């Protein structure tokens, strides 16, 4: 190698870069150093709370490190109330495991709870809610605790979760409630098809939420979208088993925030109960759903691939007028194809008082047993785009 002036400059630069970057190393709090034991049996809750308190005491970006191994944790509240830090990263190589007795966390809303935090990131790791015994209790008809959501962010901003694996939550896996700017990337979520109420990701009262490159197989909705969700972007999702993506149930309350600007782009549903569902209670409400785009979706043997159900009223209880007040408008379905497990692959059952409007179907091709499926409409307005295939034939 010829030593040129440039090489020397480069070496000097590299040297100084190395020195400055090592001085700039941010504090790292290793939960093992703080007393956690990775045997899966010793309660490590205190060590995690201490790590959080230490990271919160500084204003410098800080890392909480969880080495490989299994760390037993009871309920933790990672609260932003006394937290000075706006850049805390969890780097997780190991697994956080819930107590084996479901009663320990089963009556609290959340197992791993973040409240009023800003700038929290979680990279890697696995959380194991150990829900199996609780589901068995629920499925046996005995009285059991409701179950805890595994991981939730409430009232928080600027959150990133990348590469987390959630296994066997008691109730929902992940809940995003009243948050702004949330990125959920490369997620894996898994629970058996018959596990009750194990929604994958629930989003409500939140804006600028992105879910990308994720695989969700669970016992309830892969993604459920509640009141007040806006600017939600879902891309590259594999869903199944599960109940699909559901906007709703909405419209339980008279006064309710609407859902708007939701995009689902590139998704595959395999053997799921629903594909793309919008569901509202048949009750008076001032809620609404508008500006939704479903694009590039593959259905593989899905029971109800495309469905709007505004007459949701299980057991015909609590629905005085039997009509939904939720206004549904501007819902686009583009390039949706594959197979339906029932004959009616497209069903729009809208409110009599507030018919759906602005539904559009473009390049839709869904088959049932190798034949064109059928569609059914009630109080649904919109159009099928004449330039592409629309099969089943639109009833709009
Ligand atoms: C969130 O991030 C944005 C952009 O980096 C920043 O301007 C804003 O202050 C952050 N919000 C909070 C609550 O930290
Ligand atoms: C809709 O949401 C996306 C993010 O998902 C955002 O980029 C876009 O600006 C929003 N559109 C409107 C009209 O607010
Ligand atoms: C719809 O898809 C099926 C199965 O892939 C295919 O055989 C059929 O030709 C398609 N229909 C139209 C009208 O393109
Ligand atoms: C460790 C801790 O403070 N846990 C509490 C977190 O909040 C729930 C209620 O939301 C309480 O039940 C826990 O005791």
**Which of 20-29, 92-101, 136-145 is least confident?**
20-29
Residue 79 confidence (pLDDT) above 70: yes
**Which of 10-14, 54-58, 129-133, 143-147 is least confident?**
10-14
DSSP states of 117-150: -BSEEEES-EEE---HHHHHHHHTT-------EE
pLDDT at 24: 53
Ligand 2 atom having least distance to the Cα of 260: 1
Please name which ligand lies nearest the alpha carbon of 209: 2
pLDDT at 393: 86
> What is the three-class DSSP state of 9?
helix
- Every domain of the chain and the residues it spans: 1-218, 221-396
Residue in the block written with tokens 């939550």:
169
What does the alpha-carbon distance between residue 271 and residue 299 come to, in Å, rounded to a whole number? 8
Residue 2 confidence (pLDDT) above 60: no
Confidence band, pLDDT 50/70/90 cuts, at residue 9? low
Residue 11 confidence (pLDDT) above 60: no
What does the alpha-carbon distance between residue 193 and residue 202 come to, in Å, rounded to a whole number? 17
The residues, any chain, with a CB within 8 Å of residue 75's CB and separated by 6 or more, are 45, 105, 108, 110, 111, 112, 113, 148
- Look at ligand 4, atom 13, and give the residue with the nearest C-alpha: 75
Residue 7 confidence (pLDDT) above 60: no
Token pair in block for residue 141: 């008809």
Give the pLDDT confidence of 344-363 residue by residue, as tens digits: 999 999 999 999 999 999 99
Of 367, 370, 388, which is best to mutate to test ligand 3, by the most ligand atoms within 8 angstroms of its C-beta?
Answer: 367
Question: Do the first three CATH levels of 1-218 and 221-396 match, i.e. the same topology?
Answer: yes
**Which of 16-25, 105-114, 192-201, 307-316 is least confident?**
16-25
Residue 312 confidence (pLDDT) above 90: yes
pLDDT at 18: 46
Helices H / strands E in the chain, number of each: 4, 32
Residue 283 confidence (pLDDT) above 50: yes
pLDDT at 146: 98
Closest by CA to 230, choosing from 209, 249, 246, is 209
What does the alpha-carbon distance between residue 321 and residue 351 come to, in Å, rounded to a whole number? 11
Give the pLDDT confidence of 235-267 residue by residue, as tens digits: 999 999 999 999 999 999 999 999 999 999 999
Residue 42 confidence (pLDDT) above 80: yes
Ligand 4 atom having least distance to the Cα of 109: 10
**Which of 4-8, 108-112, 139-143, 302-306 is least confident?**
4-8
pLDDT at 139: 94
Please name which ligand lies nearest the alpha carbon of 264: 2
The residues, any chain, with a CB within 8 Å of residue 51's CB and separated by 6 or more, are 29, 30, 31, 34, 64
Residue 115 confidence (pLDDT) above 60: yes
Q: What is the mean pLDDT of the chain?
A: 94
pLDDT at 26: 86
Rounded to the nearest angstrom, the distance between the alpha carbon of 104 and the centre of ligand 4 is 11
pLDDT at 21: 44
pLDDT at 23: 46
Ligand 2 in contact with 261 (CB < 6 A)?
A: yes
pLDDT at 3: 53
What does the alpha-carbon distance between residue 108 and residue 114 come to, in Å, rounded to a whole number? 14
Superfamily assignment of 1-218 in CATH? Answer: Single-stranded right-handed beta-helix, Pectin lyase-like (2.160.20.10)
Q: What number does CATH give the domain 221-396?
A: 2.160.20.10
Ligand 1 atom having least distance to the Cα of 86: 14
pLDDT at 388: 74
DSSP states of 296-358: EEEEEEESEEEEEEEEE-GGG-S-SSS----EEEEEEEEEEEEEESSSEEEEEE--SSS-EEE
366-395 average pLDDT score: 90
What does the alpha-carbon distance between residue 347 and residue 215 come to, in Å, rounded to a whole number? 26
- 3-state helix, strand, coil split of the chain in percent (to 5) is 10, 50, 40
Give the pLDDT confidence of 163-196 residue by residue, as tens digits: 999 999 999 999 999 999 999 999 999 999 999 9
Give the pLDDT confidence of 331-348 residue by residue, as tens digits: 999 999 999 999 999 999
Confidence band, pLDDT 50/70/90 cuts, at residue 322? confident
Residue 16 confidence (pLDDT) above 50: no
Confidence band, pLDDT 50/70/90 cuts, at residue 5? low
């Amino acid at each position: 190698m010829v030593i040129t002036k440039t090489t020397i400059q480069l070496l000097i630069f590299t040297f100084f870069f190395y020195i400055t970057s090592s001085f700039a190393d941010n504090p790292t709090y290793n939960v093992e150093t703080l007393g956690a034991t990775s045997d899966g049996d010793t309660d490590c809750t205190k060590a995690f709370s201490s790590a959080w308190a230490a990271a919160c005491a500084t204003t410098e970006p800080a890392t909480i490190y969880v080495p490989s191994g299994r760390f037993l944790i009871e309920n933790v509240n990672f609260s932003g109330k006394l937290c000075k830090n706006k850049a805390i990263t969890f780097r997780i190589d190991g697994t956080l495991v819930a107590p084996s007795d479901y009663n320990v966390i089963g009556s609290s809303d959340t197992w791993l709870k973040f409240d009023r935090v800003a700038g929290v990131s979680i990279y890697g790791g696995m959380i194991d809610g150990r829900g199996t015994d609780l589901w068995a209790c629920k499925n046996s008809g005995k009285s059991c605790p409701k179950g805890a959501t595994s991981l939730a962010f409430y009232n928080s901003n600027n959150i990133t979760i990348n590469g987390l694996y959630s296994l066997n939550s008691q109730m929902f896996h992940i809940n995003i409630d009243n948050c702004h700017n949330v990125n959920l990337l490369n997620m894996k979520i898994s629970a058996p098809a018959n596990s009750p109420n194990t929604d994958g990701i629930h989003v409500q009262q939140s804006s600028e939420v992105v879910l990308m490159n994720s695989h969700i197989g669970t016992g309830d909705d892969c993604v459920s979208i509640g009141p007040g969700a806006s600017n939600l972007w879902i891309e590259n999702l594999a869903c199944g088993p599960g109940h699909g993506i559901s906007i709703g149930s909405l419209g339980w309350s008279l006064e309710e925030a609407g859902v708007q600007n939701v995009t689902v782009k590139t998704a595959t549903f395999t053997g799921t109960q629903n594909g793309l569902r919008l569901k509202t209670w048949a009750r008076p409400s001032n809620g609404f759903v508008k500006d939704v785009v479903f694009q590039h979706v593959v259905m593989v043997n899905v029971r109800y691939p495309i469905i709007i159900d505004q007459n949701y009223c299980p057991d015909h209880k609590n629905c005085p007028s039997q009509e939904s007040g939720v206004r549904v408008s501007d819902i686009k379905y583009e390039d949706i194809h594959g197979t339906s497990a029932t004959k009616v692959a497209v069903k729009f059952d809208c409110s009599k008082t507030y018919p759906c409007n602005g539904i559009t179907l473009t390049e839709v091709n869904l088959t049932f047993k190798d034949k064109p499926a059928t569609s059914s409409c009630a109080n649904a307005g919109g159009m099928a785009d004449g330039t592409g295939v629309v099969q089943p034939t639109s009833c709009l």
